Amino acid sequence: MQDVVEQAANDLVGSRYAIVLTGAGISTESGLADFRGPQGIWTRDKQAEARAYQRYEMFLNDPGAYWEEMLSTVGTQSDFYGQMRKAEPNPGHRALARLEQMGIVKWTVTQNVDGLHEKAGSRRVMHYHGTVDKLRCISCGLRFGIDEVSLEKLPPLCRCGKPLKYDVVHFKEPIPSDIMEAAEEEASKCDLMLVCGTSAVVYPFAALPRIARRGGSGRSSMRIIEVNAEPTPLTHEGICDYLIEGKTGEILPAIAEAAASRLSQGRKRG
């Protein structure tokens, strides 16, 4: 394991423009279940997954009913948004924040809606599937902090008069174009992509490593490194250069530590 950790640290320190992609797997060590892992929410509860596939349509057809349903889980066992707001980052999140502070990681593009990257100290984070702390108008695109909007009268309305929904992107909902374009631009200009804690089966997010592999900047030096508890289609299809199999909360701190000692050795030599 140590060899591949050293190799990843070497690749990161040698990179010109590294970005990180993350999924629910990086937050399981913060006590938040993932979706498709062995203990995943969808793995354990197919009904919950079926309901999740209806959510966006429900908002389009009857935003009042959507809000009734979303608020009906508050304070219950299935209050996932509430659990996320209470969760704390783990060493995996903090290691990525450290790599950003070292100037190595330029952006973190996450599928997670839990806000744990920022809680860990990351500043340059793109929320590809939105966040639980905001509401969004799908008509004019405006976003509001959840504390800025009263939920006394449902559905809450945007300044443009249209109903607001959670900023979280539900199944079958288009990814907001500002985030989608920004993420694709980062994928096509990076020369290293670290993909952490995702099953890499949900599109269009799962296309980002493929865009990076195809993209523009001198592809021969392109490196795609996976850190995940199990192989994914990126591993099987050879999209990634190598997989470091294991827990992000253990592997990412080791990589960040090895990268830090490389940088300090470099500085001493310099």
Catalytic residues: 129
Whole-number Å distance between alpha carbons of 142 and 157: 11
Chosen residue from 230, 237, 264, 265 binding ligand APR by CB under 6 A: 230
Q: Residue 131, interface with ligand APR (CB under 6 A)?
A: no
Q: Residue 130, interface with ligand APR (CB under 6 A)?
A: no
Please spell the DSSP secondary structure of 254-268, one letter per residue. HHHHHHHHHHHHHHH
Q: Residue 40, interface with ligand APR (CB under 6 A)?
A: yes
Whole-number Å distance between alpha carbons of 245 and 19: 19
Select the span of 8-16, 24-32, 98-106, 144-152 touching ligand APR (CB under 6 A): 24-32
Q: Which amino acid is at 93?
A: H
Select the span of 30-38, 65-73, 80-88, 94-102 touching ligand APR (CB under 6 A): 30-38
HSE, side-chain direction, 13 A CA sphere, residue 144: 20
Whole-number Å distance between alpha carbons of 108 and 117: 8
Chosen residue from 176, 239, 248, 253 binding ligand APR by CB under 6 A: 248
Q: Between residue 157 and residue 196, which ones bind ligand APR under the rule CB under 6 A?
A: none
Select the span of 27-35, 116-124, 172-180, 253-261 touching ligand APR (CB under 6 A): 27-35
Q: Which is nearer to ligand APR, 120 or 158 (CB)?
A: 120
Q: Which residues contact 242 (CB under 8 A, 6 or more apart)?
A: 4, 7, 225, 226
Q: Which amino acid is at 46?
A: K
- The radius of gyration of the chain from alpha carbons, rounded to an integer in Å, stands at 19
Q: Residue 122, interface with ligand APR (CB under 6 A)?
A: no
Q: Which is nearer to ligand APR, 114 or 186 (CB)?
A: 114
* Interior angle at CA 80, CA 78 and CA 86, nearest 5: 125
Which two tokens mark 130?
A: 């939105």
19 backbone dihedrals φ, ψ, rounded to 5°:
-125, 165
Minimum distance, C-beta of residue 184 to ligand APR, in the bound complex (Å): 17
Q: Which is nearer to ligand APR, 15 or 111 (CB)?
A: 111
Q: Residue 249, interface with ligand APR (CB under 6 A)?
A: yes
Which two tokens mark 257?
A: 């530590």
Task: Count interface residues toward ligand APR (CB under 6 A).
Answer: 22
Q: Which is nearer to ligand APR, 28 or 131 (CB)?
A: 28
Question: If residue 67 lies in a helix (H) or strand (E), which one and from where to where?
Answer: helix 63-72
Which two tokens mark 136?
A: 């969004």
Minimum distance, C-beta of residue 106 to ligand APR, in the bound complex (Å): 21
Residue identified by tokens 């793995």 is: 43
Minimum distance, C-beta of residue 250 to ligand APR, in the bound complex (Å): 8
DSSP-derived letter for residue 10 is H
Q: Which is nearer to ligand APR, 31 or 64 (CB)?
A: 31
Q: Residue 197, interface with ligand APR (CB under 6 A)?
A: yes
Residue identified by tokens 């294991």 is: 246
List interacting residues with ligand APR (CB under 6 A): 23-25, 28-29, 34-37, 40, 111, 129, 197-199, 202, 228-230, 247-249
